Amino acid sequence: MLRKILSKIKLSPERRRLYFLLHTILGYYPNNLSLYELALVHKSALLKDCDGKVMNNERLEFLGDAILGAIVAQELYNKYPDVNEGFLTKTRSKIVNRAFLNKTALQLGLKDIISSQSKIALNKTNIPGDALEALIGAIFVDKGYDKCAKFVLSKILHPFVNLNEITKHDNNFKSMLIEWGQKYKREINFETEEVSSTSDHAPIFVSNVEIETIVYGRGEGNSKKESQQNAAMEALQNISIKENNPNYKA
């Protein structure tokens, strides 16, 4: 270990600083420092390598997003052995969301080591959360799944997430669906109509959720809000099924 650290002393002052900062954040020294440097480069930085190839963290972000979802899913699966898939999916969505990732990235101190050319404060963008997902991807590539899971659980999930508190609250399915659409750049529209009641009771509202003109969910309720929440819940369920079965049609 000492030999490895001494070898890093030969780094430039800037890279040496990053090397030791990463140790503070991660709890270990990176093997491949370049991999972590790439994880912290947002596409707005417009960086290129010596061959003119664009360098950014989008590929690592893609990988990190999948690995983070798997680690959280495994933790929920083990912690709640008697609940159904719907509960697990909804709870995971409450944890792995853009607002939480942005906040956690800032709390971990990533703001000071992210490379970008954003003209607005990083804490008002999704850049920190993107970098955190990319960092998770870098850990997976550099150290493997077990080390990556240890980082997610010890540095993200356990310090910043109260699972018992989260599971007490009702899900806002509409907000979750809109957030999903923003993340994956998908257009989402809600269409709601009031249906005449056949009795003296309050009218019924019916809502459809369209994702890029395709209906993914339908819901009914005694209010516009309730019908849209039910439609959004069904849409999220169909999205989950489709992600695991590309041939599925909503």
Last residue of a domain, one of 138, 166, 194: 166
Do you know the residue count of the chain? Answer: 250
Catalytic residue among 61, 65, 130, 142: 65
69: burial class by Cβ within 10 Å (0-12, 13-18, 19+)? middle
Does 181 share its domain with 156? no
- Residue 66: CATH number of its domain: 1.10.1520.10
For residue 250, is it within any domain?
Answer: no
**Which candidate, 42, 71, 68, places its Cα nearest to that of 56?**
42
Q: Is 161 exposed, middle or buried (0-12, 13-18, 19+ CB in 10 A)?
A: middle
User: What pLDDT, on the 0 to 100 scale, is given for residue 6?
Assistant: 45
Same domain, 102 and 189: no
Last residue of a domain, one of 131, 166, 201: 166
Q: Is the domain of 221 the same as that of 161?
A: no
Give the range with max mean pLDDT: 102-106, 148-152, 192-196, 240-244: 148-152
- Which of 57-61, 86-90, 170-174 has the largest mean confidence? 57-61
The 8-class DSSP code of residue 45 comes to G
Q: Compute the distance between CA of residue 151 and CA of residue 160 in angstroms, rounded to an integer.
A: 13
Which residues are within 8 A (CB) of 221 and not within 5 positions of it... i.e. 6 or more apart? 204, 205, 207, 227, 228, 229, 230
* 204-217: pLDDT as tens digits: 899 999 999 899 99
Task: With H, G, I as helix, E, B as strand and everything else as coil, classify residue 115.
Answer: strand
Same domain, 88 and 177: no
Domain end marker among 134, 166, 198: 166
Residues 72 and 159 in one domain: yes
Neighbours of 73 (CB within 10 A): 16
Give the tens place of pLDDT for each residue, 117-127.
665 677 778 88
Pairing of strands 47-48, 54-55: antiparallel
For helices 85-95 and 58-79, give the axis angle rounded to 10 degrees: 130
List, in order, residues 6 or more apart from 99 with CB less than 8 Å away: 179
Do 9 and 95 fall within a single domain?
yes
Would residue 165 show up in a list of annotated catalytic residues for this protein? Answer: no
- Split at pLDDT 50, 70, 90, the class of 152 is very high
Residue % of the chain over a pLDDT of 70:
82
Q: Which of 229, 226, 225, 208 lies closest to 217 in space, CA to CA?
A: 208
Q: Give the separation between CA 135 and CA 36, rounded to whole angstroms.
A: 6
Both 35 and 155 in one domain: the answer is yes
Whether residues 99 and 210 fall in one domain: no
- Summarised one tens digit per residue, pLDDT across range 21-40 is 899 999 999 999 999 999 99
Decide if 133 is catalytic.
yes
- Predicted TM-score (pTM) of this structure: 0.64
Domain CATH for 217: 3.30.160.20
CA distances from 45 to 75, 110, 114, 117, 220 (A): 35, 15, 9, 5, 46
**Distance between CA atoms of 219 and 209, rounded to whole angstroms?**
9
Among 37, 75, 130, 133, the one annotated catalytic: 133
Q: What's the total number of domains in the chain?
A: 2
Domain residue limits at 196: 173-244
178 is a domain residue? yes
pLDDT of 248 above 60: no
Residue-level pLDDT at 91: 84
